[in-house]
């Protein structure tokens, strides 16, 4: 299991850990409901070590990425950024990204578990482009500061536009701060030299941020509809089947998978879609089938405690005939009977 740069430090501070698809991440710090409240109403601190950075360098980096990624990246200047997807030719999702434009390189912030597939897919498409894709020898630690009070803890960031970034000094470390959130909220992602991660974490706790584990983060993610690569979308998932509109430009020219996206957009519908589901009954496993009138009509992808909604909830794919809010589906799994009711975002 992969350890993040903060694991030993957070274990010593009371974090309860779990295996998050091959990465050891804090489940909670003793009170996941209070952590959720900080996430939505205060300032929450998240070990975002499930994400990492890839460096794209070389004079052709912008033109190459413009032809590969779903968003308009060619016009990004130093200090700017944006979300984007790498799709297959068939319009299916290989990776979701946050781009960070610097004067002489582009940083690709991606899920650690999708990094190797992302790099391999991009390298396979390099022909005559003068571009290098580099895995940093000492990857920075990524730390999330989430919530409406997050900007108060980070001097000089309140005016940052979405996905813009700046450099700050925190606890004696040079830190890059990007305005971005894991849960569509007020938030920032910090790129911290790994050797300074513990000191930066402690400085932010002293400033008023509450450590927050994955239980609260995943619950909020389900409530607001943020799909995660490897759980809610992958290379079997069409980009139009998941709520990733902010990562797709409607005006840019050709990019990998663009024809499929354009065709689906013109048609006006897809055959299935990721939807929020409120659960009643025993908590089912991710991947459990959804049934209506004895027929499979979809499946669950993420199951979590939605603290704001006051119930267990899930994300799941449902066929278009059954995704109307209020529709009740049965979750098939062993002898347990769980009802999944289609809802609308946000759940809370």
Question: Domain locations in the chain?
Answer: 1-270, 271-348
Spatial CA neighbour of 166 closest among 116, 229, 102? 102
φ, ψ for residue 164, nearest 5 deg: -75, 165
Beta-bridge partner residues of 24: 3, 19
Sign of the CA dihedral with 282 first, then 288, 292, and 293 last? negative
Given this model, what pLDDT does residue 25 score?
98
Q: How far is CA 330 from CA 119, 271, 311, 336, in A?
A: 39, 20, 17, 10
| Cα–Cα distance for residue pair 308/101, rounded to 1 Å | 35
Are 23 and 16 contacting, i.e. CB atoms less than 8 angstroms apart?
no
Given this model, what pLDDT does residue 335 score?
66
Residue ranges for the chain with pLDDT beneath 70:
334-335
Cα 177–Cα 38–Cα 12 angle in degrees, nearest 5: 80
Q: Token pair 């994400």 is at which residue?
A: 51
| Cα–Cα distance for residue pair 252/176, rounded to 1 Å | 28
Region of 208 (left: φ > 0; alpha: ψ -120 to 50; beta: rest) is left
Given this model, what pLDDT does residue 40 score?
98
| Cα–Cα distance for residue pair 119/131, rounded to 1 Å | 12
Burial group, residue 60, by CB count within 10 angstroms (0-12, 13-18, 19+): middle
| Cα–Cα distance for residue pair 158/181, rounded to 1 Å | 14
Fill in the DSSP letter of residue 189: E
| Cα–Cα distance for residue pair 255/171, rounded to 1 Å | 41
Residue 226, C-beta contacts closer than 8 angstroms, at least 6 positions apart = 182, 183, 184, 243
CATH 3.40.50.880 fits 1-270, yes or no: no
Residue range 271-348, CATH number: 2.40.30.110
Query: Do 1-270 and 271-348 come out as alike in CATH topology?
Result: no
Determine the distance from the C-alpha atom of residue 23 to the mean position of all C-alpha atoms in its chain, rounded to a whole number: 15
Q: Sheet of 141-146: strands edge to edge?
A: 165-170, 173-179, 187-192, 141-146, 44-47, 210-212
| Cα–Cα distance for residue pair 176/179, rounded to 1 Å | 10
């Amino acid at each position: 299991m992969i350890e993040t740069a903060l694991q030993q430090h957070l274990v010593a501070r009371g974090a309860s850990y779990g295996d998050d698809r091959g990465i050891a991440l804090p489940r909670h710090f003793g009170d996941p409901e209070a952590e959720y409240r900080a996430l939505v109403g205060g300032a929450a601190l998240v070990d975002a070590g499930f994400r990492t950075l890839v460096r794209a360098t070389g004079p052709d980096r912008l033109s190459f990425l413009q032809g590969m990624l779903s968003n308009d990246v060619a016009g990004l200047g130093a200090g700017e950024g944006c979300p984007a997807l790498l799709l297959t030719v068939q319009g299916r999702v290989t990776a979701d990204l946050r781009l960070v434009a610097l004067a002489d390189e582009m940083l690709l912030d991606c899920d650690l578990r999708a990094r190797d597939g992302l790099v391999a897919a991009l390298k396979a498409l390099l022909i005559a482009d003068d571009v290098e894709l580099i895995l940093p020898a000492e990857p920075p630690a990524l730390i999330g500061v989430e919530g409406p009070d997050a900007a108060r803890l980070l001097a000089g960031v309140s005016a940052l536009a979405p996905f813009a970034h700046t450099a700050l000094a925190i606890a004696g470390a040079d830190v890059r701060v990007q305005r971005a959130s894991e849960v569509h909220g007020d938030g920032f992602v910090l790129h911290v030299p790994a050797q300074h991660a513990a000191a930066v974490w402690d400085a932010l706790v002293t400033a008023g941020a509450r450590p927050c584990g994955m239980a609260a983060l995943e619950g909020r993610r389900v409530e607001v509809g943020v799909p995660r690569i490897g759980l809610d979308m992958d290379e079997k998932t069409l980009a139009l089947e998941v709520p990733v509109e902010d990562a797709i430009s409607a005006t840019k020219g050709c990019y990998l998978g663009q024809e499929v996206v354009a065709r689906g957009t013109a048609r006006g519908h897809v055959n299935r879609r990721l939807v929020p589901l409120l659960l009643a009954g025993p908590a089912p496993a991710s991947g459990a089938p959804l049934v209506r009138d004895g027929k499979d009509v979809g499946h669950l992808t993420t199951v979590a405690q939605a603290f704001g909604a006051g119930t267990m909830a899930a994300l799941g794919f449902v066929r278009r005939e059954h995704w109307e809010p209020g529709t009740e589906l049965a979750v098939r799994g062993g002898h347990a009977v769980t009802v999944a009711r289609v809802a609308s975002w946000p759940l809370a």
